A and B are shown apart, each in its own frame.
Chain A
Amino acid sequence: MAEQNCLVANDWICGEYLRSRSAELTEATVQHIWITAASVLIGLAVAFPLALLARRGRHFAGPVLGLTTVLYTVPSLAMFSLLLPLFGLSAALVVTGLVLYSLTILVRNILAGLEAVPQEAREAAKGMGYGPVRLLWEVELPLALPALMAGLRIATVSTVALTTVGSLVGKGGLGNLIEDALPSFFKAQVLTASVLCVLLAVAADLLLLGVQRLLTPWTRIRTPAGAPPGAGPAKTEAA
């Protein structure tokens, strides 16, 4: 009974809130995770061909990089509002908006990674009889992986944060809880959802860091004393 009081007193931290609304919190977190995961995966699937296209030459690079940069200046609030006539109040709307945002970072980083592949490595592979597909898949992609993963981490972390804005159409994961709590000044709900959101971002970042280490074991072997070169070109223009 004493614990019930923290809901009545509207405390910032409330154990009773966590207990009584655990189903609601879990549901929001799960929605947050799948919206983020779907957006980043689709973003990656779209960004990769775009980066390959941009690498073909300046005719393609200009429009691709220009378009993805302009998309980034559209405020998220406006992006979700403008997609409304196309998708209605659905999760597809939020995912589409987030995919468009992730493209800026992903295309730039994939391109930077592919362009940083040493020419000698390419020529050696060609000399060994590698075709273009095998060259891309077995030589260029692994060498571009650190930069690609750096971009993926940035895109994922910012997508986790941006998903909250999806509460505008009722599909914002933890953002929904924040939005619902605003009119009644429900402090415990706002704080809990915000903390969970930041924790999600940190967890996603660490998970991807682990995946990167698993996928690129050679980056650790070669430089035992020096700094790990995994960070890649972190200073994209949208840094």
Chain B
Amino acid sequence: MGVVEEAWVWLTTGANWSGDGGAGHRLAEHLYVSGIALAVACAIALPVALYLGHVGKGGGLAVNLSNVGRAVPVFAVLALFMMTPLRNSGYLPTVIALVLFAVPPLLTNAYVGMTEVDRSVLEAARGMGMSGAQLFLRVELPLAYPMIMTGLRSAAVQVIATASIAAMVGLGGLGRIITAGFNTYDTAQVFAGAVLVALLALVVEGVLVALDRLLSPLRRRRTV
């Protein structure tokens, strides 16, 4: 009972938000690291997945990669980076570890989306004389779009939740609020930090759902 109220007090106290180690700065760090990691992961995973899906090859690779991705212990990867000169390069270790973590779900979902496009639709499009590029841009991509967005959403939520592990090796992000509270036996602060991370994940998921509705290529046709 008391913990929730104390956490609320912690969250509404202005002093906890200001300064270098304050929640405001930690939130900015968290968003910055997660955003860059997600963008880089998209830049790597989507072209590969869309190309493989278009050509129709590499299915085994896509599925196995998603299983390998789960076996990557982010804490161990971060710890390995801290043993190298990279530890002095700011947020780079966290970004690299999160990219490794985010690529598999993005790649697998985009690939599955591409390969699940109805074959008869593809043949009809070819019969209408569409070239490979037209087929990709005007048929495959719009039809694979929902799966690609599903992959992006789950990757975003996982990246935001996982970015807090960076605090275990002393790197920035909202996790630092949790570890700081843990070290001083301040359960209210731990709870507040956890709530902030979970809220951030839910807000980002909500924004992506809204974007999805706005950008969906089939949006106008859905009402017919």
Contacts and interface: CB of A to CB of B under 8 A. Distances in A.
Pick the most buried of A154, A164, A202: most chain B CB atoms within 10 A of its CB: A164
Interface in B126-171: 147, 150-151, 154, 157-158, 160-162, 164-165, 167-169
A78 interface: yes
B80 A154 contact: no
A161 B74 contact: yes
Interface string A143-180: 00000000001100110111011011000001100110
B182 A161 contact: no
Contacts of A239: 66, 105, 108-109, 151, 154
B165 A77 contact: yes
A207 to B, nearest CB: 14
B165 A158 contact: no
Q: Interface SS of chain A: helix, strand, loop or mixed?
A: helix
B24 interface: no
B80 A191 contact: yes
Interface string A205-230: 10000000000000000000000000
B110 to A, nearest CB: 11
A138 B150 CA distance: 35
A101 to B, nearest CB: 10
A225 to B, nearest CB: 17
Contacts of B122: none
A154 B67 contact: yes
B76 A82 contact: no
The 4 closest A-B pairs by CB, nearest first: A78-B194, A201-B71, A194-B76, A161-B73
A40 to B, nearest CB: 13
B63 A78 contact: no
Nearest to A238: B154
Nearest to A150: B67
Interface stretch (A68-76, A114-122, A129-137): A68-76
Given A84-B187, A239-B66, A239-B151, A75 B112 contact: no
A72 to B, nearest CB: 8
Interface stretch (A17-25, A42-50, A53-61, A182-190): A182-190
B175 interface: yes
A99 interface: no
A154 B70 contact: yes
Interface of A: 12, 70, 72-79, 81-82, 84-85, 153-154, 157-158, 160-162, 164-165, 167-168, 174-175, 178-179, 181-182, 185, 187, 190-191, 193-194, 197-198, 201-202, 205, 231, 234-235, 237-239
B165 A73 contact: no
B75 A167 contact: yes
A82 B191 contact: yes
Given A78-B164, A234-B108, 4 more contacts: A72-B157, A75-B161, A178-B76, A198-B71
B79 A178 contact: yes
Contacts of A84: 182, 187, 190
Contacts of B197: 74-75, 78
30 contacts: A12-B83, A73-B160, A73-B198, A73-B202, A74-B161, A74-B194, A74-B198, A75-B162, A75-B194, A77-B179, A81-B178, A81-B194, A82-B187, A82-B191, A158-B71, A164-B75, A164-B76, A167-B168, A168-B182, A178-B79, A182-B79, A182-B82, A191-B80, A194-B76, A197-B73, A205-B67, A235-B108, A235-B147, A238-B158, A239-B109
Contact of A78 (B75, B83, B112, B193): B193
A153 B64 CA distance: 12
Given A161-B74, A239-B154, A77 B79 contact: no
Nearest to A199: B71
A164 B190 CA distance: 19
Given A182-B82, A234-B66, A81 B73 contact: no
A84 to B, nearest CB: 7
B164 A194 contact: no
Contacts of B77: 194
A78 B151 CA distance: 24
Given A178-B79, A191-B80, A237-B150, A75 B72 contact: no
